[in-house]
Structure 1
Amino acid sequence: MNKYLLKYIAFCFIVMLLGSCNDSESDLLEPKVYFENKEYVIEVTDAEAMTHDLQARVSSLYSSSVEVFYEVADPSIVAAYNKKYGTEYETFEASNVKLGSGSSVVPDGQVYAEQVSLQFSNLKSIEEGKSYLLPVRIKSASLPIIEGRDIVYFVVTKPVRIMKVAKVYSNYIKVPLVPGTLFSSITYEALINVDWFGNNNTVMGCEGKLIFRIGDTPLVAANHLQIAGNKEFSVSQGLEEQKWYHVAFSYDQPTGKAVIYINGEKASEATWDTPNFDLTANAGGFFIGKVAGFMWGERPFYGQMSEVRLWNISRTENQIKQNMITVDPKSEGLAAYYKLNGTDQFQDGDTWKVKDASGHGMDGLVNGGRSALNIIDLDEPVTIK
């Protein structure tokens, strides 16, 4: 082929490429409509109704006004959201939502649309601890809409107020796991508030197999969370005294992923290849608060506890974060659940026990059955910050 013809073809290709780049740049610079925030949390109090502002925007200034139309999205959006993020939100009923207006305008020379009121009603019917999701969509606009930013999610929740907790000073609960019970994937969870750190403070688990504890000096600082047993790892951040935390550990056997969470956030992780865990009495027993009768020291916890849970599945980060203060007792994979609020403590004859809120009959033996847990009243509800 003639070398001049080759140069001509190459020149034409470059011109076409530059033209394509200019088109892409022009497309990126074109003003588009979207929601600036993806999610809002509406915490319900005792009010019957609450109002929140809804506001779309354009990505850049436009030479004329822009009209935007809104609608409450279909409930299938909630199902898709739960599947994508591993959450368990229920759909907030559209009949309990009223848009002040179905449309708003972005004035000429501005980027924010006029605010539209979104009223939530019938809120007194919401149960404590339940969370609902309401998706609101930009239905249409006089400019293009940014795909994926056309929906804003409102999380409507009524927080549980925990005002009674167990004061665990060398007290303990023994979980009656049935001999032969094996855990492949597993999750531990608890709300804790430490009064003071010792050399080794037991949160929960089976010593030597899979124990969730705080400190193991000199190897682990006295205020650092650690999971230990057949394998172990710890976190690098320390806990503070007289402060509430939600702490969790999860192990997913199929992926080998082991994670320690603090307040719903990953604090440390590792990769394991453990086939299963025997946490029954045959392996030493599963304890909460201290390891009673352990030959090298019982390693008691000194502080307050609430919402202690054992799962036979690996809970996701979003599931843990969404359910720190409470969880549905009927949740899949919940093996044992101790609320430790005083109402779940009872005597079976002369034996003290704490009821398993999951309904699986795993009522815990308190202090060997000899004495009750010390339940205290709080001046303000448990808050995770």
Structure 2
Amino acid sequence: MKLSYIFSALLLLSVAAACKKAPEYAPKLYFTDTEQFPEKTLTVDGPSTVGLSVTSSIKVDRDIRVSIETKPDLVESYNQQNNTHYQALPAGSYSLATNNGAITIASGTNRSDVANFSILSLDQFEEGVTYCLPVSITNVEGGMDVLESSRTMYLVVKRTIITQAASLASSRYFRVPGFAADPALASVAALTMECRISVNAFQTANPFISSVMGIEENFLLRFGDVSILNSQLQLAGGLINGRKFPVTSKGSFTTNQWIHVAVVYNGATIALYVNGVLDNYTDAQPGGVNLTDTYSDGFLIGRSAGSRYLNGAISEARVWTRALTPTELQNNLCYVSPDSPGLLAYWRFNGDISGNDVPDLTGHGYSAIANNTITWIPGVRCP
């Protein structure tokens, strides 16, 4: 009898719990497509216009008037919070067209009309600088709340760079002998190698290797090997304190397409990135990468181990003594300030040379020395 009573009581409690209403969430407003990430990136090569709008999480039953306003003063705090290095858009280079400072979500819909954001002129833009203009929701008429994480949209504006690149065809390559001469580089605790390349053709003869940059048997970014596709990216070696941690890309790549490739060692993992997006990684160990290693001519760009050349072209190659974040990689595909913290060496390969040496823009003196007369490829656009 007692067990029957207990069972009945438990049954009533479970029914009561099931009948409780699910929590109700108030509808929210947010800048369209920023509910997950507040940035919207625009790449421009002249005057252009893009529409901005606000979205409601439900269809509204009355007109909702949303006031928006540019907030260039927020750029500095955003940089500090996100480890970015944006500059405020130059005054006079843009406009934001609204209906008396507002946009409206009409009754029966869930998206507003558009406010036209326009880049009017690039005259004040500096090459390689990434600009930002925050736009905030400042007032709502109609009784709806704003999703606070999306109250402000950060318009990130990049100017297309048109430059030259160095051909690596016909067995051309570059040496960086300055690394071997610097004892401070014998054990680098964190490292990023990155560059922008285009491949004319992947190697079809054994061992099917097209070398990008680095040191053979130590820390070498390359395509192909006997055990992988000739078009797969690989960090070969990955030598940390006597132990190797190689990693290979999940996918393969096509010819005649400009891509940004990077390898990042942070003391715990070695990761491959393509166009700033993580492709694959492997667990590693704390220690140091030896950039002074002179095996097979030391640090090379476009070649390794005798005749493992890259048949292609290169632009924007850099080596850092710190692990860049994905955001940093994505924002710096085309250019970075030569005085950026942790930037060890920077070669633009844009035709600015001294003899046959491509200068290291950091001022550290790690010139990239060509093995032959450099052939330049004009009209290379980035991004």
Question: Which category describes the TM-score, using the shorter chain as reference length?
Answer: 0.7 to 0.9
The residue aligned with 1:83 is: 81
Q: Is the 8 A contact 1:78 1:134 kept in 2?
A: no
Instruction: Tell me the distance in 1 between the aligned counterparts of 2:230 and 2:199.
Output: 11
C-alpha distance 210-111 of structure 1, shift in aligned 2 (>3 A): same
Which of 152, 174, 179 is equivalent to 2:182?
Answer: 179
Q: CA deviation at 1:56?
A: 1.2
Q: CA deviation at 1:188?
A: 0.9
C-alpha distance 342-51 of structure 1, shift in aligned 2 (>3 A): closer
User: Is 2:364 aligned against 1:360?
Assistant: yes
Q: TM-score when scaled to structure 2?
A: 0.83
The residue aligned with 1:329 is: 338
Mapping of residues 264-275 of structure 1, within 5 Å: 264-275=276-287
Q: Which moved more, 1:36-45 or 1:190-199?
A: 36-45
Instruction: Tell me the distance in 1 between the aligned counterparts of 2:339 and 2:167.
Output: 23
Mapping of residues 371-382 of structure 1, within 5 Å: 371-372=372-373, 374-378=374-378, 380-382=379-381
SS in 2 for 1:169: coil
Mapping of residues 210-225 of structure 1, within 5 Å: 210-217=219-226, 219-225=227-233
Instruction: Tell me the distance in 2 between the aligned counterparts of 1:14 and 1:139.
Output: 46
Which of 215, 239, 247 is equivalent to 2:261?
Answer: 247
Q: Which moved more, 1:147-156 or 1:281-290?
A: 281-290
Amino acid at match of 2:287: P
C-alpha distance 145-13 of structure 1, shift in aligned 2 (>3 A): farther
Q: CA deviation at 1:92?
A: 2.3
SS in 2 for 1:315: coil
Which of 254, 266, 270 is equivalent to 1:258?
Answer: 270
User: Is 2:43 aligned against 1:66?
Assistant: no
Instruction: Tell me the distance in 2 between the aligned counterparts of 1:289 and 1:361.
Output: 20
Q: Which moved more, 1:258-267 or 1:87-96?
A: 87-96
C-alpha distance 126-233 of structure 1, shift in aligned 2 (>3 A): same
Q: Is the 8 A contact 1:179 1:281 kept in 2?
A: no
Amino acid at match of 2:309: P
Q: CA deviation at 1:159?
A: 1.6
The residue aligned with 1:146 is: 147
Amino acid at match of 2:53: Q
The residue aligned with 1:34 is: 30
Which of 188, 193, 206 is equivalent to 1:188?
Answer: 193
The alignment of Structure 1 onto Structure 2 pairs a total of residues equal to 358
Give unpaired runs (5+ residues) of structure 2: none
SS in 1 for 2:163: coil
Q: TM-score when scaled to structure 1?
A: 0.83
User: Is 2:223 aligned against 1:227?
Assistant: no
C-alpha distance 154-179 of structure 1, shift in aligned 2 (>3 A): closer
Q: Is the 8 A contact 1:169 1:303 kept in 2?
A: no
Which of 290, 314, 318 is equivalent to 2:303?
Answer: 290
C-alpha distance 12-300 of structure 1, shift in aligned 2 (>3 A): closer
Kindly report the root-mean-square deviation, in angstroms, between the aligned alpha carbons of the 2 structures: 2.9
The residue aligned with 1:307 is: 316
- CA displacement, residues 63-98 of structure 1 (integer Å, 9 cap, x when unaligned): 2211211122363355335633x4322222566554
Instruction: Tell me the distance in 2 between the aligned counterparts of 1:221 and 1:164.
Output: 26
Instruction: Tell me the distance in 1 between the aligned counterparts of 2:72 and 2:13.
Output: 49
Which of 208, 211, 214 is equivalent to 2:217?
Answer: 208
C-alpha distance 82-321 of structure 1, shift in aligned 2 (>3 A): farther
Q: Is the 8 A contact 2:164 2:349 kept in 1?
A: no
- CA displacement, residues 136-175 of structure 1 (integer Å, 9 cap, x when unaligned): 1111212111221222221111121124433343222221
SS in 2 for 1:236: strand
Instruction: Tell me the distance in 1 between the aligned counterparts of 2:93 and 2:15.
Output: 58
SS in 2 for 1:320: helix
> Percent identity between the aligned chains?
25
